[in-house]
Chain A
Amino acid sequence: MSNRAYTLDQLVKTAREKGWASIEGANLDLFRHQAGWLGWTVVPSRKDGPPIDALKAKTGEDAPKRSLSAITGTGQQPLHTDGAHHLSPPDLVFLAVEEPSTVPTLLWRFSPLGLNFGLTQDLWNGLFTVRSGSDSFLAPAFDTSTGSLRFDPGCMTPSDSRARRVAEHLLSKADEAVRHEWVGSTMLAIDNRTVLHGRGSADDEPDRPMHRMAVRLPKAVS
């Protein structure tokens, strides 16, 4: 295993243990190749989309119709998991910026421990309608078979009272989120199965460039 692959492996291991982890450097292309060697699957955000997305805060009018930016513009995004519109969402998300930025990324780690019984049942059993293009399917916010969270108010609509309570609970967690500040060329790995994230308000720095790559791990690893 090369040093770089070792770094990627360590980064991911820490992210899985603690919810997220960051390292200096922002070369996602290199990580993408290493992910391939490790047998990880890169999950593009959209069908036929690029493996690495170039993200920039967009006003509601400029944003793609079906995107969080279309809802929030350059304002703060609601906390969400990435790829919630995929039947099988990615396990990890890598975000990278080249330059320091004043726009933080908000992070909140989910844990079923400490939740009251009713809410736990709502998380497991409440159903959302997930829409992506012309496709739609039903899914709970928490998949007990994989232990992973799926939540994105941009593409998930609560379809019953249980799901409505779940959405209300998760949306309220923005106040408890940790701010990850981008102080230099950095890469942030987020455990997409247990952590909600969202871009802070980019009203003052709408052109902040960021790159994103999402991966699905092989079952043996995950």
Chain B
Amino acid sequence: MNGSPYDYEALWLKAKLFLNRATEEDDGRPFDEQALWASLALELLAKAALARVSPLLVAEPTEDGTNLLIASGLVEGDARFTSVRAKTLYSRCHKAFKPFSESEATKITNARNDYLHGSAAGFTSLPPSAWWPRFWTLAVILVNAMERDIADLVGHDRSHTVEHHLKQNQKNIEHRVEMLIARAKQRLNQYKSGSLPAKVATDWSPGQDLSAGLRYRDPHPCPACGSWAGILEGDESLAVDLQHIQFGDDDIETIVYVTAPSEYFSCPSCSLALDGYQLIEQAGLPSTFFTQGTDEDIPDYDSHYGND
């Protein structure tokens, strides 16, 4: 604890407070209100996890730099706390704390904003039994990123409830992947046998491009139909390897290979689509893939200096 507005311990304690309110059984709060407190806690956990690495990751840059100066500890001040938006926070967490899902976290924030600022009467259309597992799957990643465990956040007496939700989420993922693969197989078989319902047949035929358009991609056998038309995609470069091939004294060609995270898989053959690390992992696909990159992937490609 300290007086800095970007202090991660203070952010952690506030997240803990909001989750105390969200998880108290005797308070008589309706689920919508519990979810509201929990959604606010998720944003604070994201801030705490990033601020623990560096407070600069959560401070909103301003023209005069006051927030950054306070966050860096160079200036003491009681300036109004302005931190980066939830979208930016979750994007940073997605990159820094795998497998944190930016899209799942954004769904929670959007629901919160609709509930707070719109006319929506309820927080979400999902039942609590489906919402909490998704929430805790995100929260636990941030908790782990802070080298803590769920009991530190909610207490030992409530951690078993969270564990139950996490197991439930794992089951949900297993069921979902099983269902998606089974449906993709079924659809392809029906198509091949000519028994695909007419209504479906008008919308679907093999060969449709379902790719997400991410930066890196690599073919991979489809877990549903086995086709090598399956494509793994990822938007980040986790590592870059250079292979130099010498064709002659002055003729050296450099081939760039990039290791990227498997963020999306699609198969044009059977239309299986798996969006997110957890579904991809559950389907038995690799968590990263190796693919050819370009010169632009070489770090500091333009700035090398040589004594030649």
Contact = CB atoms under 8 A, between A and B. Distances in A.
Given A124-B155, A161-B27, A137 B10 contact: yes
Interface string A112-124: 0000011001101
B156 interface: yes
Nearest to B154: A125
B14 interface: yes
Interface string B142-165: 000000000000111110000000
A118 B17 CA distance: 17
A57 B126 CA distance: 58
B24 A121 contact: no
A58 B20 CA distance: 38
Interface in A135-184: 135, 137-139, 159-162
Contact of B1 (A121, A125, A139): A139
B299 interface: no
A139 B26 contact: no
Contacts of A139: 1, 13
B3 A125 contact: no
Nearest to B7: A137
B2 interface: yes
B156 A87 contact: no
Contact of A126 (B3, B14, B20, B26): B20
A203 to B, nearest CB: 38
Interface in B163-219: none
Interface string B99-134: 000000000000000000000000000000000000
Interface residues of A, number: 17
A124 to B, nearest CB: 6
B3 A135 contact: yes
Contacts of A121: 155-158
Given A121-B155, A137-B10, A160 B17 contact: yes
A127 B13 contact: yes
A127 B2 contact: no
B51 to A, nearest CB: 15
Interface string B14-31: 101100110010110000
A125 B21 contact: no
Nearest to A129: B17
A160 B20 contact: yes
A170 to B, nearest CB: 18
Interface centre among B13, B21, B154, B157 (most CB of A within 10 A): B157
A81 to B, nearest CB: 16
Contacts of B14: 138
A11 to B, nearest CB: 30
Contact of B20 (A87, A137, A162): A162
Nearest to A165: B26
B1 A118 contact: no
Given A125-B20, A159-B17, A137 B3 contact: yes
Nearest to B29: A161
Contacts of B156: 117, 121
A155 B150 CA distance: 29
Contacts of B17: 127, 138, 159-160
A161 to B, nearest CB: 5
B20 A138 contact: no
Contacts of A118: 157
A138 B10 contact: yes
Contacts of B27: 161
Nearest to B13: A138
Q: Which 6 pairs show the lowest CB-CB distances between chains A and B?
A: A160-B20, A125-B155, A121-B155, A121-B157, A138-B13, A127-B17
Interface of B: 1-3, 10, 13-14, 16-17, 20-21, 24, 26-27, 154-158
6 contacts: A117-B156, A127-B20, A137-B10, A138-B13, A138-B16, A138-B17
Given A126-B20, A135-B3, A137-B10, 19 more contacts: A87-B2, A117-B157, A118-B157, A121-B155, A121-B156, A121-B158, A124-B155, A125-B16, A125-B20, A125-B154, A127-B17, A137-B13, A138-B10, A138-B13, A138-B16, A138-B17, A160-B17, A161-B24, A161-B26
